Structure 1
Amino acid sequence: MITFPFSTNTLVRDIVNELPKTSDVFKKFRIDFCCGGNISLSEAIAANGINEEAIMEELRVVFEKYSAAETDLEVWTKSDSTTIIDHVINHYHRTSEEELSLLSPYVTKVSRVHGDSHPELLKVHELYYEFKKELLEHMAKEEAVVFPLIKQLADGTVENREEAINMIVELEKEHDHAGEILRQIRSVTSDYTLPLDACGTYRLVYKRLEDLEGLTFMHVHLENNILFPRYF
């Protein structure tokens, strides 16, 4: 039997790096494993008022179920930077662009139709479009400017290392802000809790917003905790 490898002293990001499926546990307990993952599990437990025994038990269950499997992010920890960048662009950027385009009219419709009786939807609409604008600009900058610099860092051809590092730090700050917007959406929607009178479109919007949150957090985790630290 494989020994459970994590303790309350383990960094949150290291737990997710080792076993990505634990991200579902951290999401459930509202622990930020991407932008805020550089703290110990004990610090995260204290900061969020979580029952230590409960979260450790859920982590053990996930470990026992999934530890034997070769998972997506475990592969990326062993991959070169160019391979990771190509994966980020093809899997996360293209998917996010498509979903932001498809989801937008539904967010607008729900806020227009139900905003009077559910004013939180007006705030969701505002936050969503702020998030959409920032994420699209962020991904475009990554592809046009920063990712090419990271590839140059990787092969030793970068002309100004300090400038490249500063741009990576700027991306991390943008990740932090995107994460904060998503946390605000989750708060405004009371963890995506649907009202009794929610119609089909209302339900669709909440489900897809929550899925978009998960996609974004995994996107940020791959960059913040696997790709970027190679160059600091």
Structure 2
Amino acid sequence: MTFPITSNSLVKDIVNELPKTSDVFKKNHIDFCCGGNIPLSEAVAQNGLNMDTLITELNVVFEKYQNAEKDVEVWTDSDSNTIIDHVITNYHRVSEEELAALSPYVTKVSRVHGDNHPELIKVYELFYEFKKELMEHMAKEEAVVFPLIKQLADGTVENREEAIAMIVELEKEHDHAGEILRQIRAVTTDYELPLDACGTYRLVYARLEALEGLTFMHVHLENNILFPRYLA
């Protein structure tokens, strides 16, 4: 797939198509919300930017987004070390980056629109609960459980029962993370936008839904491909 953005693309359309590009616009002080109905060339001129540099920054986001969304059916036949390295690179690092980037948007939308849309206050609470739990979960996987799985794979683990128990605990944490995401989807009525939703409001819903998809694929790789090898 070729990169679809040109100097004539509207800023708001770029963000609608690739929500993560909002980080590039925010960094360059380009209003993608209320002032997003202008072509990229006009935004560049208004802010004294270099078009080629901006296109390059947007292209980096596009490439990363495309790579994160690729199908993973090949992992069924991959060894455990390869799967673990793939999960860390393409799910842990990507999730950490997205949670950090999305946090200020969630906070802003709940603060600005929470009075008229109280569901956003609940979204704020659920998002930060999810963020805290997922960050702790991924840190535990990398520091403790993934090394144990590698030892299970090569037959050097000292306490197999303890290792298995920790894998089972990870599955329970996956279930709880999934439940938080389901609650977010429920309170937003499947991310249905109200008529008065501004660009940032739309951005938050789009990126929350994308984060849900990223997390579900992360969990799928572990629960359905990696963990069963050692829980059978």
Matched, 1:138 2:131: no
Per-residue CA deviations over 1:107-134 (Å, capped at 9, x if unaligned) read 0000000000000000000000000000
Query: 2:71 & 2:227 partners in 1: Cα distance?
Result: 18
- Aligned partner of 2:191 in structure 1 is 192
Task: Give the drift of 1:92.
Answer: 0.2
Equivalent position of 1:221 in the other structure: 220
Q: Tell me how far apart the structure 1 counterparts of residues 193 and 113 of structure 2 sit (CA, whole Å).
A: 12
2:88 alignment partner AA:
I
1:180 and 2:205 correspond: no
Offset at residue 73 of structure 1 (A): 2.5
1:131-188 Cα offsets, whole Å, 9 max, x none, are: 0000000000000000000000000000000000000000000000000000000000
CA distance in 1, matches of 2:97, 2:188: 23
Sequence identity, in percent? 87
Moved over 4 A (4+): none
User: How big is the shift at 1:74?
Assistant: 2.1
* Aligned counterparts of 1:227 and 1:130: Cα–Cα separation in 2: 26
Q: Distance in 2 between matches of 1:72 and 1:82?
A: 19
Q: Is 2:109 the partner of 1:119?
A: no
2:139 is matched by which residue type in structure 1?
A
- State the partner residue of 2:99: 100
DSSP-derived class of the 1:193 partner: coil
Q: Give secondary structure in 1 for the equivalent of 2:190.
A: coil
Q: When the two structures are superposed, what TM-score results if normalisation uses the length of structure 1?
A: 0.69
Structure 2 stretches of 5 or more lacking a match?
1-69
Deviation at 1:72, TM superposition (A): 3.7
For 1:162, the equivalent position in structure 2 comes to: 161
Structure 1 distance, partners of 2:150, 2:71, is: 21
What is the distance in 2 between the residues matched to 1:74 and 1:204? 29
Report the counterpart of residue 15 of structure 1 in structure 2. none
State the partner residue of 1:79: 78
SS in 2 for 1:218: helix
Q: Offset of 1:88 from its aligned partner?
A: 0.1
Q: TM-score, normalised by structure 2?
A: 0.69
Q: Deviations over 1:43-102 (max 9, x none)?
A: xxxxxxxxxxxxxxxxxxxxxxxxxxxx84221000000000000000000000000000
In structure 1, how many angstroms separate the alpha carbons of the residues matched to 2:92 and 2:124?
22
Q: Secondary structure at the match of 1:192?
A: coil
Question: Which structure 2 residues correspond to residues 40-51 of structure 1 after superposition, within 5 A?
Answer: none
Equivalence for 1:128 = 127
Q: Return the letter of the residue paired with 2:93.
A: R
Aligned residues: 162
Partner of 2:170: 171
AA matched with 2:125: E
Question: Which letter does structure 2 place at the counterpart of 1:182?
Answer: L
Q: Report the AA paired with residue 98 of structure 1.
A: E
Higher Cα Rg, which structure = 2
SS in 1 for 2:117: coil
Return the alpha-carbon distance in structure 2 between the equivalents of residues 127 and 72 of structure 1.
28
1:153 aligns with 2:155: no
| Alignment correspondent of 1:201 | 200
